[in-house]
A and B are shown apart, each in its own frame.
Chain A
Amino acid sequence: AQKVTQAQTEISVVEKEDVTLDCVYETRDTTYYLFWYKQPPSGELVFLIRRNSFDEQNEISGRYSWNFQKSTSSFNFTITASQVVDSAVYFCALSFQAGTALIFGKGTTLSVSS
């Protein structure tokens, strides 16, 4: 079965705290793609990152970083020094070929207070 699990339903932090959002996926395919999207209150899904299954290098983009570990089937997302503007629902997603349908997790709602 192909599945994405985001076990954390809601996380609340205070500004400047670091926070990690967990994502665990299930697949039997050897080639797949992992994504993170942000959905702010306005509703539009904003693309954050795409990773293919052959690239296990961690990535950092500003305050955002991603840790991809095939051994544990995880693709975790860390926000360093969180800000109020980071408050949103974050989704992890999986696809099996470039351009095919995405399978989303249920999302993690992040609330950052000042």
Chain B
Amino acid sequence: DTGVSQDPRHKITKRGQNVTFRCDPISEHNRLYWYRQTLGQGPEFLTYFQNEAQLEKSRLLSDRFSAERPKGSFSTLEIQRTEQGDSAMYLCASSPPYGSYGYTFGSGTRLTVV
């Protein structure tokens, strides 16, 4: 068990470019979550998968954002036409099917839009 892995750790992109982040959850965890954290704030929920089904999306997830979890394993989060306001830490978490005894978070991907 290597925990939740996120790639890349850091991404700098120019405004208007598309970016994609990847999250590999703990293998036996069927639930996967994306959060966004800006400086001085707590993480804000973006979206949630149970296996390959996307069950919940926040209002924060504008139409420029899309998330997938094609085989119920890893997930990707894509941001199209990035804006400076998208600069944040993007956190992925996973949890097991029962008990939900704590969500395990990855180290995050820090996005800077210049």
A residues with a Cβ closer than 8 A to B are: 4, 33, 35, 37, 42-47, 50, 91, 93, 98-107
Contacts and interface: CB of A to CB of B under 8 A. Distances in A.
Nearest to B101: A50
A98 B56 CA distance: 14
Given A47-B104, A99-B100, A101-B48, 10 more contacts: A37-B105, A43-B110, A45-B91, A50-B101, A99-B31, A100-B56, A102-B45, A106-B40, A106-B41, A107-B42
B25 interface: no
A103 B33 CA distance: 12
A104 B43 contact: yes
Contacts of B45: 101-103
B102 interface: yes
Interface residues of B, number: 30
Contacts, number: 60
Interface of B: 31, 33, 35, 40-45, 48, 50, 56, 58, 89, 91, 93, 95, 97-108, 110
Contacts of B43: 45, 91, 102, 104
A35 B102 contact: yes
A112 B64 CA distance: 41
18 contacts: A35-B102, A43-B89, A44-B108, A45-B43, A45-B105, A47-B104, A47-B105, A93-B42, A98-B100, A99-B31, A99-B97, A99-B100, A100-B56, A101-B33, A101-B58, A102-B103, A103-B45, A107-B41
Nearest to A50: B102
Nearest to B107: A44
B99 A98 contact: yes
Contacts of B56: 100-101
B62 to A, nearest CB: 17
A68 B21 CA distance: 37
Contact of B107 (A43, A98, A102, A103): A43
A42 B91 CA distance: 13
A43 to B, nearest CB: 5
